[in-house]
Amino acid sequence: MTTDSTPSNRKQEPLIIGIGGGKGGVGKSMVSSNLAVQYANNGLKVILIDLDFGAANLHTIFGLRQPPRSLGDYFNSPRSQLADYLVPTGVNHLSLITSSGFVPELANLKHQQRVKLLNHIKGLDADLVLLDLGAGSSLNVVDFFSMCHAGVVVATPEPTAVLNAYEFLKNVIYRIFFRVLRNDEELTQILKASIKSNNDYGIHTVHDLIRVIKKKNGWAAETLQDICQDLSFHLIFNQARKTTDVQLGAKLNQICEKYLNITLNFSGIVFYNEEVPACVYKMSPISLAAPESVTSQSLRTIAIHTFNRVAQIVAGQGAAENFSDQMAHVGRHAHVDFERNLLTQRRLQRSRERSYLTETSADLVSLEEK
């Protein structure tokens, strides 16, 4: 990240990054909260928005048991501005907009509500806005993810999570295609038919889809091709257990290139660390509670490289590294992080054993005295 100061009186819209994934429990909130802290600590003015309607928990990660205001209040006040609902996090340069509380209406936002919220997000006084989205591929999640400058996909390195990540990306791409082709009934019908595995057009991949559409409308086909080339999706594996988990990133990218006509960016891998749930229990992101931990350092590296890649793509410069280069970069860091994390887990294990022995000895003394 190349930022040492926070701009004032900004007129351009902030960089907007959505953080999603096809499966719950992969650690999206952990990743989004810690990325926000890392960016804020580097001088960026950051706003983190919890759009996980119905399962919002970012406020608890920052130690806020009952936020004073939330998106439920925002939608129930038609003339309100989104900036009125910023909540301090205690971290310099970082504010939070929560979705705390049970508000059934938020589960299925109307189109006008999504448009209003997105327009207000674009008008926020910030350098960077991170959207923590819910799990799965609901219309809310897919729409917000597809409307961001870039999207971060969080997955665990296991087959089901990788498959869910692929399905999530497929839903996002098709949602974008439907928006682009919505005024052409014939092309929309082709797009709908292509979703079925056995369709009359012989479409099995996005490349096949573009080929068929090109016969009907060359301009539309070229537009879809440009969209695929311009999409900026960044993969983060969380809760990894071994260095070979990196290879699943290559597998997912191969599938995306073959069937979705897109190339992913590989941001990095975070190994499972028992300190992470301990920090969540203490209601603090690990980047704050244990800034020198291997997980915090891994997230810092991921934050820097993701931001630089997104900024380059948004600026029209293209990615500085191809996927193979990114794989090599992630692999090098993974080997170093794995060894450091292994030492950390062993230290935690020894600490638990000492604690257990101390408690057991105390119990035995107590029994003898009785």
Chain centroid offset of residue 190 CA: 31
User: How far apart, in whole angstroms, are the C-alpha atoms of residue 94 and residue 47?
Assistant: 6
Residues 6+ positions from 240 with CB-CB distance below 8 Å: 156, 157, 246, 269, 270, 271, 272, 334
User: How far apart, in whole angstroms, are the C-alpha atoms of residue 45 and residue 1?
Assistant: 13
User: How far apart, in whole angstroms, are the C-alpha atoms of residue 234 and residue 145?
Assistant: 12
In the chain, beta strands by DSSP E: 15-20, 46-51, 87-88, 94-97, 128-133, 150-155, 233-240, 265-271
Q: Alpha carbon of 303 to those of 38, 142, 161, 298: distances in Å?
A: 7, 23, 22, 9
What's the pLDDT tens digit per position in 157-215?
999 999 999 999 999 999 999 999 999 999 999 999 999 989 999 999 999 999 999 99
Q: Evaluate if residue 7 carries a pLDDT over 50.
A: no
User: How far apart, in whole angstroms, are the C-alpha atoms of residue 65 and residue 59?
Assistant: 7
Full DSSP string of 208-220: HHHHHHHHH-HHH
User: How far apart, in whole angstroms, are the C-alpha atoms of residue 183 and residue 360?
Assistant: 72
Return the CATH fold of 15-159+232-350.
Rossmann fold (3.40.50)
Q: Alpha carbon of 50 to those of 94, 111, 118, 121, 213: distances in Å?
A: 13, 19, 13, 12, 38
190 or 112: whose pLDDT is higher? 190
What's the pLDDT tens digit per position in 54-109?
778 899 999 988 888 888 888 888 788 999 999 999 999 999 999 866 566 666 78
pTM for the whole thing? 0.88
- Token readout for 114 is 């999504």
Angle (nearest 5°) at CA 150 between 168 and 225: 75
pLDDT averaged over the chain? 87
Q: Evaluate if residue 365 carries a pLDDT over 80.
A: no
- Three-state SS annotation for 268-306: EEEECCCHHHHHHHCCCCHHHHCCCCHHHHHHHHHHHHH
Per-residue pLDDT, 80: 84
Which of 39, 36, 31 has its CA nearest to residue 3? 39
User: How far apart, in whole angstroms, are the C-alpha atoms of residue 233 and residue 34?
Assistant: 19
- Token readout for 134 is 């819910």
Per-residue pLDDT, 5: 40
For the chain, the structural domain boundaries read 15-159+232-350
Contact 236, 302 (CB under 8 A): yes
Angle (nearest 5°) at CA 191 between 186 and 197: 130
Q: Can you tell me whether residue 154 is helix, strand or coil? A: strand
Q: Alpha carbon of 369 to those of 86, 360, 362: distances in Å?
A: 58, 14, 11
Per-residue pLDDT, 79: 81
User: How far apart, in whole angstroms, are the C-alpha atoms of residue 323 and residue 327?
Assistant: 6
Instruction: Work out the percent of the chain whose per-residue pLDDT is above 70.
Output: 88
Average pLDDT over residues 104-124: 83
